[in-house]
With several copies, the nearest count.
Chain A
């Protein structure tokens, strides 16, 4: 799909990788978002380090290619700096639920108005396929050739538990569906989480399994408990929005209508205020 959303960066994903599906879905989401009044220049992205992160180079949007596990903090900072921006980050499962899990949980807890898209391939792919926080027990990788001995985390129910106000699952093999999820997530005011089932053809090729098991759900669960139940189904893999609720968002709770980057005080005003402060201190 070489289009006006293609960048000069060479794509170095493995042929057939699920990441292509995510990239294509995102590219489809951008014009749709523009139809919803979110223009491209207000869309700012970030990414973690891993195969997933390369998406940063593949779309011509402004943003900050962050550290492994930290892009959720990065975009929270961007949002706090200028709340007019719509921020998204692309993270890996290792990224978001290993190195960066604290930021995920707190972003959800405080309902930061950001969108996190996790390319969940159940492995640390770029570092050659070690087990990750979402790898199944028994998953064999070079750091534990005899197989992972831990139970996987369930990103969806964990995010629900942490207080996420929008939780969805997509599948890299269902591009249009995923594109719509991304649009809905960005439009949602508050913390939006999309877990994307992403086959890694080299280290965890799950296309067959996913093709057999994914099932589109049309409507989010009404109650949190039901969403948790949905998240914990393994006989089928529901994709779609599992849960969505409206809650106050962090930056507004913190500073209301202020915008630090836009409303920043000018030098003279600052001087005046500091002088006032000092003279008050002296009187005291």
Chain B
């Protein structure tokens, strides 16, 4: 990093938040503007810039449900340690329009720098640059402003022009020349005006920056995904887009049918052939898939359902985040059959959980739900993925003798066989006998119920013995229970404030891993979740008797800010 400019105060990022331990070097970059101004892209470029410094990053993109205009922003927090959340207050904020300015002008850390477009913002405080005016000289003024973000960032952290150029050439390939030129104008303007700079320490190692949608796609692929079926619905769409873009590379076929009902039924059809299939949707779409979910339970199909949560009920708030569908996800589809639900606690863990659910669905021939949130699928961070950890066991295949699709076995799992085959393979949505023929006989009905219950018991045994169903981080009381993407917020809050507590995250929610949770009974407990009615709290209380002394809930569509969350936790910890 270059030295400081003349007369420019330089902060070494290792503090600035009152309660942050001295060795914490979080730096947060915020870029806000209209949809269409490329704030998300600018965030990605900034993240890559930090990553080139071998620093870790967490990027969160906030955008309403519209295509152009409105107010979008991207927050990128970076540290040399692992970082699990964006921070809501920025060390550097670049605000491209009046609305962003109005909303974010106070979202600064103590020494935070605010840069805004002086063409757009009237009477701004901070550093005004005539961004839009400068942009007017370019072919596409709307598109070009995006590069502002990185130019200002480079100036503020003292990266030299050569570095900036390399970055722009890599990241803004479309009309790179214009972008370079514009970036230089901005960089020069900014250098003239800034009065303080941040020196960012280099980190030790670096890993690729991936969004949850990507780690989920990769995890599923690692465990053998052949076909992915989806109808667009936020926040699951990024998985569809990722897999569609990487279809060749990953050997996966993506299919966008006419509606979610077709999605789920096609996936079951594909599973019948031995192809590993998965579907993705959000709450409303998952409602429509429930009949097929129950079909999967009955025919014993092996399909993973990705369920991405956003604030509900109904259409709700499509592009924001919530955890309001935990209870909804536990018993989908009519009737009794084994269901599996797991929710990853980080973007990294999403890779392993996606793979594991595919594996479990195939081992136990039953549908599984990968429950997550917009905050996980659409945020990104550095991930260190160990592909060697992925299990993708060959399913229990029929080998010899007469084939019976629903043969009674000790585990309740019947061997599989796929067409074309000399033996007849009948999957049946009606209650059926071992051969797969429809039956209404009392004893057959009872027997098949017991078969499916046995499978459920085998599943639980397997989870107990072979699967990490609960994560624990840290030591000491209280136990802070959380799940899904909120785990990242909690872990970051704990790191940020140096709190001493035990973070407990059930990864599996159905079957609920009480066997791993009973040991916390009697300890002081807090539950943190992103919903209004306390669904994890309800589950914990009902399944284990754990009764929290406090519950911290946020239900405004926005993920927790670790600083606020730390504050609330500190109050409880006392």
Contacts and interface: CB of A to CB of B under 8 A. Distances in A.
Indicate yes or no for A touching B, C-beta below 8 A: yes
Interface of A: 7-9, 12-15, 39, 41-42, 44, 46, 49, 51, 54, 56-57, 60-70, 73-82, 84-85, 98-99, 101-103, 105-106, 124-128, 130-131, 133, 142-145, 202-203, 254-255, 258, 260-261, 263-265, 267, 269-271, 273-279, 281-282, 284
A127 B234 contact: yes
21 contacts: A14-B36, A56-B426, A65-B429, A65-B430, A67-B295, A67-B314, A73-B262, A77-B266, A77-B270, A77-B277, A78-B269, A99-B231, A103-B265, A105-B258, A126-B65, A128-B232, A130-B232, A144-B254, A260-B253, A260-B270, A263-B251
Given A64-B268, A273-B251, A261 B427 contact: no
Contact of A143 (B256, B265, B428): B256
Contacts of B232: 124, 127-128, 130, 143
B291 interface: yes
Given A78-B269, A101-B258, A106-B262, A66 B429 contact: yes
Contact of B244 (A46, A76, A142): A142
A63 B327 CA distance: 31
Contacts of B428: 56, 64-65
A143 B244 contact: yes
Contact of B222 (A8, A62, A202, A274): A274
A274 B221 contact: yes
Contacts of A42: 419-420
A217 to B, nearest CB: 31
A84 B420 CA distance: 8
B332 interface: no
B526 interface: no
A270 B219 CA distance: 10
B266 A73 contact: yes
Contact of A12 (B64, B255, B269): B64
Interface in B48-76: 48, 64-70
A8 B244 CA distance: 40
A85 B273 CA distance: 9
B437 to A, nearest CB: 5
Interface in B463-507: none
B269 A77 contact: yes
A78 B277 CA distance: 11
Nearest to A103: B262
Contacts, number: 263
A269 B388 CA distance: 12
B23 interface: no
Given A77-B267, A82-B274, A254-B255, A70 B292 contact: yes
Q: Which of B68, B69, B232, B257 has the most CB of A within 10 A?
A: B232
B259 A99 contact: yes
Contact of B226 (A73, A261, A271, A281): A261
Given A270-B224, A278-B385, A65 B269 contact: no
Contacts of B437: 7-9, 57
Contacts of B274: 81-82, 261
Interface in B219-241: 221-222, 224, 226-227, 229-234, 237, 240-241
Interface of B: 36, 48, 64-70, 170, 206-210, 218, 221-222, 224, 226-227, 229-234, 237, 240-241, 244-246, 249-251, 253-262, 265-277, 284, 291-292, 295, 299, 314-315, 385, 387-388, 390, 392, 418-422, 424-430, 435-438
A133 to B, nearest CB: 7
Contact of A81 (B271, B284, B385): B271
Contacts of B265: 66-67, 70, 73-74, 77, 103
Given A144-B244, A258-B253, A284-B48, A67 B299 contact: no
Contacts of B266: 73-74, 76-77, 80
7 closest pairs, A vs B, by CB? A77-B269, A81-B273, A77-B266, A81-B270, A14-B68, A73-B265, A82-B273
Given A62-B426, A78-B273, A143-B256, A270 B251 contact: yes
A69 B67 CA distance: 20
Nearest to A46: B269
B221 A270 contact: yes
Given A41-B419, A70-B292, A260 B246 contact: no
A284 B233 CA distance: 28
Contacts of A125: 67
A67 B222 CA distance: 31
A277 B246 contact: yes
Contacts of A101: 258
Nearest to B241: A142
A276 B246 CA distance: 12
Contacts of B273: 78, 81-82, 85, 260-261
Contacts of A106: 257-258, 262
B258 A103 contact: yes
Nearest to B391: A267
Contacts of A61: 424
Contacts of B256: 130-131, 143-144
Nearest to B251: A265
Nearest to B258: A106
A17 B160 CA distance: 41
A261 B249 contact: no
A8 B426 CA distance: 13
Given A14-B69, A15-B68, A267-B392, 11 more contacts: A64-B268, A73-B262, A81-B269, A81-B271, A99-B260, A102-B259, A103-B261, A106-B257, A142-B240, A261-B274, A270-B392
Contacts of A276: 249
Contacts of A39: 420
B249 A273 contact: yes
B249 A282 contact: no
Contacts of A203: 67
A51 B385 CA distance: 38
Contacts of A130: 232, 256
* From A39, A65, A78, A278, residue with most partner B Cβ within 10 Å: A65
Nearest to A275: B387
A85 to B, nearest CB: 6
Contact of A202 (B68, B390, B427, B430): B68
Given A14-B68, A41-B419, A278-B208, A64 B251 contact: no
A260 B229 CA distance: 13
Contacts of A12: 64, 66, 69-70
Contacts of A98: 231, 258-259
A12 B68 CA distance: 7
Nearest to A201: B68
A81 B421 contact: no
A62 B398 CA distance: 15
A143 B240 contact: yes
User: Which among B218, B237, B256 has the highest number of chain A CB atoms within 10 Å?
Assistant: B256
Given A64-B299, A142-B241, A143-B241, A80 B227 contact: yes
A57 B438 contact: yes
Contacts of A9: 437-438
Contacts of A284: 48, 170
